[in-house]
Structure 1
Amino acid sequence: MTKRNLLLLFAAVFTFVAGFYAGTSYLAAKADKIKLDFHPIRSEKMVNFPIKEVEDRKEFSTKVVMGYIQDHHDPGKINYPYLSHVIFSFAHPAENGKLLFNGEHARTNLRETVRLAQKNDTKVLLAVGGWFHIRGGETYPYFQEAIYNADSRTTLVNELMEVVMDEHLDGVDIDFEHPRSEKDAEHLAAFIKELNAMLKAQNKELSIAVYSKVDSVTGQENKSVVFLPSMFKDVDYVNIMAYDGQWDGGYNAANLSPFPFAENIVGYWSRFFNENGLPKDKLVLGVPFYAQPEDPAEAPISFSAIIKKGAENPDKDAVTIDGMTYHYNGKSTIQRKTELALQNDFGGMMIWEAGHDAEGAHSLGKVISEVLKESVEREKQLFWAKNNDEE
């Protein structure tokens, strides 16, 4: 390839990537206060950088940014240009495998999310599961019963595929919280395999949200949640819920998701995937876009609400508001975590949840996107320098 042709190629690539990140509309929470039934142990996703084939190189790194949004949030207030995937949350499994939505407004918001996402080349996945169930209590017993029986398992697969096709979705996210035994893990793997076969036949994607597996206090593996390594061969992305550490041991809001906790989680999953011969680019590191109060009787609040309470708050990880101290991840911590994921060859970043982000320059989604974009630019420059030297 001549220098002139290579230069033209990279000019085209740069134009494509710049266009992908165009747009400065902001992410904003629908309300400052999050409902008391809010439970952040959930997943999200992020931004793609497709690059055309280059001499001796199939492509540059492709990273995702996956953002969960809850079904009651206004789809018009999500900053789609910062996301490669929106994960619409949640559809709820019944014991017989039937799929339940939280009223007609949830289906309406799903359709509007798809419409707006398609304008921004953002994919939309439907999340099934979550912590709380529409019929009350945890989703776990409903989901467990649905996947333990072959008939109800197939029913759930068919129900999901029907929604995917009818609503023009790009795939499904599984949020079974959590497999608590070898038998749970086996049935979850069987369900994932069956669903993945159906999705791949339609060129659709499958992701799974997973527990962090690391105790925030001791730093040791939590063996109460069980996954079969073989299951991860049947998913495209593994969204690691690297937050909610405040519940490990006695309640401590400071353990929500500090950087050392993320380091331990990244180390655990890197080793797990390496030991089992799994590609680490399936791993997606989750980050919280909410703040946890030191008093568990108080409700968490969004990062957007934190920013509204003080111009100095974006770069902090803790702040006191009206006498209550909240712990969160500020811009610097989110930047460091994104760099940590890149350094360990992860496939990208995940957000719980995109509706909690701040606007404009203080957007955490913007921080993540800029780090990923800079990584691609550095990779292109190194490749350009290497090929120049060879010529």
Structure 2
Amino acid sequence: MKKIIYLIFPLLVFMLGCKKDKVESAGDFHPRIFDGGLVFQSPSRIIKEGESAVYNRLQYSPAPGAKMKVSWKVDGKEVSTDTAFTFTPTAGGEYVIKLEATFNGQTATRLSKVLVSPTTYTPKPSPFVNMSYLSDGGVAANVNWVNVTHVAFNGARVLPEGGVDFSKGNQNQNLDEIVARGHIAGVPVLLGVSGRLSGVDGWSLYASSDFGSVITDVAKRAQLVQTLVTYVADRRLDGIDVMMTDLGGGDVSASLAAVGPFVSELKAALPAGKLVTATVTVNYLHWDYTDLSKVDWVNVHAFEDGNHVGPGATLGQQSSLNWMISGAGIWRNKGFAANKIVLGMPAFGLRYLELDGNGNNLSWGSYNYLPFKDILKADPTAVQKEFTGAIAKGVYFNGIPLVTQKANYIKQNGFKGAYLWAGDYDGEGDNSLMKAISQILK
């Protein structure tokens, strides 16, 4: 038995040596990179300036040596030849990390993109606010950063007990990416805070008083303020928009009266330079707002007049130029200077599903709202219209001609700017309402 073992061992050594020689001499052998740590599993990473992206637990075949070369490159420039690499950026931006393993003229590669949120940035100059307000389903890819001066993300839903649901922004680092790309582009990013919303139009869920019940309770309001201030600091946000168009249940008058103290406490608790704004109504509820003097500006929900919904309502444009002008007048009469008013425009349309015998809206359940981008899918020519009959019983909306008229009114009358609800409903390229607005307010 010992003789057999003595004979087998030299044979195995000989075979392994032959195999190694064959690998090292084979011109058609392609090197391989084994990602044991799954560091390349995600095509991109998002980190803050000062943090590091670590690439380790990698194995190579053949093993790195005289003939097997390893190269790490950042944006095409070699920075290391080690088997592992730690990328610690010193500035914000988007970087491409490339790993190359070369053997006998053949190269295996792995790629990773790293988006780095800068520690500091300079907001780009603009005489007007052009704000894309993203719904909680919005992502960074929904924003053309050239067309905006500010972005708000409705990523904080207040819960009845006083806590906050941040899940829509935290999922897949969604808000981190929005902030990083915004700051790289010189665009401040605000956190939109609301209760439960009804859907596309961004109004309140009927009879919901989650937000109002919290801000009318002094202790819960203080807790909410601290929760939001901490989140703003952790996520490097530039401020908060208190989205008060969603108060639709409970004691609405008391809730609206609590908006003033709430924004004042937020402003006092946030670091100097952080923005606090409020999205406000133009319906009968506007009488119940208390002192909003601490806000940097108000975002006026100056669309959806409510005259074209309900049983027997005549069909028509619910977000006209005249309705926006009247909404602006309400807040001017409440003592706000024009340069502290940002006027809202809709990136969605009113869709009629059923009509009565007179050709009017049938009932409270016979209409809904459709994002502008979905209107364009059904009718590509809608971008230059205000109505299309190609969908259900017809859809009324704001196309480029109407938002252009509105933007000209804002510019000619010295208002602070415009916001679009919601930015993730908008069209793309030349079909973008935000682009049309920004071409005037620049």
Same fold (TM over 0.5): yes
1:96 aligns to 2:161 (yes or no): yes
Please say if residues 71 and 106 of structure 1, whose CA atoms lie closer than 8 Å, have aligned partners that are also in contact: no
Aligned residue among 128, 143, 156 for 2:211: 143
Q: Deviations over 1:66-91 (max 9, x none)?
A: 11112323322321221111111131
Unaligned runs of at least 5 residues, structure 2: 1-122, 354-364
TM-score, normalised relative to structure 2: 0.62
Letter paired with 1:118:
H
Corresponding position of 1:285: 343
Change (3 A) 1:257 1:137: closer
Please say if residues 308 and 318 of structure 2, whose CA atoms lie closer than 8 Å, have aligned partners that are also in contact: no
What are the equivalent positions in structure 2 for 1:179-328 lying under 5 Å apart?
A: 182-199=253-270, 201-213=271-283, 222-223=284-285, 226-228=288-290, 230-231=291-292, 233-246=293-306, 250=310, 251=313, 254-273=316-335, 278-295=336-353, 297=366, 299-328=368-397
Please say if residues 49 and 63 of structure 1, whose CA atoms lie closer than 8 Å, have aligned partners that are also in contact: no
The offset of 1:303, in angstroms, is 1.7
Please say if residues 334 and 367 of structure 1, whose CA atoms lie closer than 8 Å, have aligned partners that are also in contact: yes
Please say if residues 137 and 424 of structure 2, whose CA atoms lie closer than 8 Å, have aligned partners that are also in contact: no
Aligned residue among 135, 147, 153 for 1:70: 135
Please say if residues 195 and 209 of structure 2, whose CA atoms lie closer than 8 Å, have aligned partners that are also in contact: no
The offset of 1:350, in angstroms, is 0.8
The offset of 1:168, in angstroms, is 0.5
**Which has the larger helix fraction?**
1
Change (3 A) 1:107 1:242: farther
Corresponding position of 2:439: 370
Higher alpha-carbon Rg? 2
Change (3 A) 1:227 1:262: same
* Count of residues in correspondence between the two structures: 300
Please say which of residues 203-212 and 64-73 is displaced more in the overlay. 64-73
Higher relative contact order (CA 8 A, sep 6+): 1
**Which has the larger strand fraction?**
2
TM-score, normalised relative to structure 1: 0.70
Q: Deviations over 1:112-160 (max 9, x none)?
A: 11122122111111111155289x9558521122112221111000000
Determine the C-alpha separation between the residues in 2 that align with 1:311 and 1:263. Answer: 29
Change (3 A) 1:322 1:235: closer
Aligned residue among 50, 57, 66 for 2:125: 50
Determine the C-alpha separation between the residues in 1 that align with 2:333 and 2:196. Answer: 27
Determine the C-alpha separation between the residues in 2 that align with 1:111 and 1:141. Answer: 29
Please say which of residues 290-299 and 186-195 is displaced more in the overlay. 290-299
SS in structure 2 at match of 1:312? helix
Please say which of residues 286-295 and 241-250 is displaced more in the overlay. 241-250
Please say if residues 299 and 419 of structure 2, whose CA atoms lie closer than 8 Å, have aligned partners that are also in contact: yes
Letter paired with 2:190:
L
Letter paired with 2:334:
F
Q: Deviations over 1:38-78 (max 9, x none)?
A: xxxxxxxxxx8737xxxxxxxxxx21011111232332232
SS in structure 1 at match of 2:162? coil
SS in structure 2 at match of 1:346? coil
Letter paired with 1:333:
L
Please say if residues 127 and 174 of structure 1, whose CA atoms lie closer than 8 Å, have aligned partners that are also in contact: yes
Please say if residues 253 and 326 of structure 1, whose CA atoms lie closer than 8 Å, have aligned partners that are also in contact: no
Determine the C-alpha separation between the residues in 2 that align with 1:144 and 1:97. Answer: 10
Corresponding position of 1:24: none
Corresponding position of 1:121: 186
Corresponding position of 1:40: none
Determine the C-alpha separation between the residues in 2 that align with 1:124 and 1:224. Answer: 26
Please say if residues 211 and 225 of structure 1, whose CA atoms lie closer than 8 Å, have aligned partners that are also in contact: no
Q: Deviations over 1:149-184 (max 9, x none)?
A: 221111000000011000000000101233865533
The offset of 1:206, in angstroms, is 0.6
Letter paired with 1:258:
S
Letter paired with 2:384:
D
Letter paired with 1:206:
V
